[in-house]
C-alpha cells in the first residue's frame, strides 16, 4: 500500500458504529483474512449496530479489489520471470 493511501485509510472509517478505521480492515486482509467472517474476527466489525449490513458490502468490495491486485501482481511476476528466463537463455 502506498504511504498516502495508508494515511488516508487511517483516517477513513471502516465501521462507523464501532469507530474502527479502514486501515484495520486492510491490514486484516493483508494478513490473510479472505472472507467477511475472518475480517470480522480480526477487527471486531460486524457486531455493531449495523449487524454487518453496512460493513459487509465494504469488506466484500475490499476483498474483491485485493483479489484483482493479487492477480495483477501474479501476472506481472510471471511476466518478469519469463523475461528473465529469456534473457538467461540469450546470454548462453
Ligand atoms: S459498520 Fe459497524 S458493525 Fe457494520
Ligand 1 pocket (Cβ < 6 Å) reads: 15-18, 45-46, 48, 50, 52, 54-55
pLDDT tens per residue, range 32-78: 999 999 999 999 999 999 999 999 999 999 999 998 887 777 787 77
| Of 3 and 57, the one with more pLDDT | 57
**Is the pTM of the predicted complex or chain greater than 0.75?**
yes
Give 64 Cα–ligand 1 centroid separation in angstroms. Answer: 19
Quick check: 92 pLDDT over 70? Answer: no
Query: For residue 88, what pLDDT band results from cuts at 50, 70 and 90?
Result: confident
Structural domains in the chain, CATH included, are 3-91 (1.10.10.1100)
User: Smallest Cα–Cα separation from 26: which of 8, 50, 47?
Assistant: 8
Cell of 82: 519469463
Amino acid at each position: 500500500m502506498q504511504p498516502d493511501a495508508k494515511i488516508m485509510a487511517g483516517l477513513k472509517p471502516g465501521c462507523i458504529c464501532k469507530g474502527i478505521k479502514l486501515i484495520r480492515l486492510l491490514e486484516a486482509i493483508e494478513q490473510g483474512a479472505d472472507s467477511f467472517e475472518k475480517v470480522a474476527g480480526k477487527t471486531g466489525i460486524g457486531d455493531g449496530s449495523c449487524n454487518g449490513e453496512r460493513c459487509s458490502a465494504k469488506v466484500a468490495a475490499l476483498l474483491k479489489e485485493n483479489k484483482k491486485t493479487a492477480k495483477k501482481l501474479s501476472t506481472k511476476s510471471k511476466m518478469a520471470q519469463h523475461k528473465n528466463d529469456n534473457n538467461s537463455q540469450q546470454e548462453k
